[in-house]
Structure 1
């Protein structure tokens, strides 16, 4: 079971949670997941496209075959996160720091990266 907590800006900045019974084929598309915590989890074959991922926590997590198309990843500081065979087409990366992390076999088409710091990473 996976439970994700986030701040819903559309609902007066209320803290909300989403719970899934499995870590595969999650549909998180088109959500504003401000300060969502993906800490120390593995997610497979999931749709995380067109999401607002501001101040998200990806530390210690693995994403395999996930689609981040059109998502905005803003102000993220992540350590030991692995993205394997993920799609980041038309995604926007702003103020990102990845430390001891990996992006293996990922696709980036028309992706915007601004203030993207890579520290001891594997690509």
Structure 2
């Protein structure tokens, strides 16, 4: 079974430690893989490592916005903001500004959960 498949099987079984290890293994080969990065961060969240998870996604969005400013990453990031801070609305608005600079009208702003 390939590493990606093993990671998703672990996720489906709520085995976040094993899933994170598998996604990390994928990232050793392909460090910019957006799916593996996003899912590794979600695993960290479920493992109770919110700050580390948040740092990972924020770092990705800042390093390579063209690759990581998409709906699934932003949805997870805004969810983490809600869990982390009472200032989540301000942080979400900053993401909206970043998206507005790069994306067109076709972007689904609902993923930022501002309403």
TM-score by length of 1: 0.36
| Bigger proportion of residues as strand | 1
Bigger Rg, which one: 2
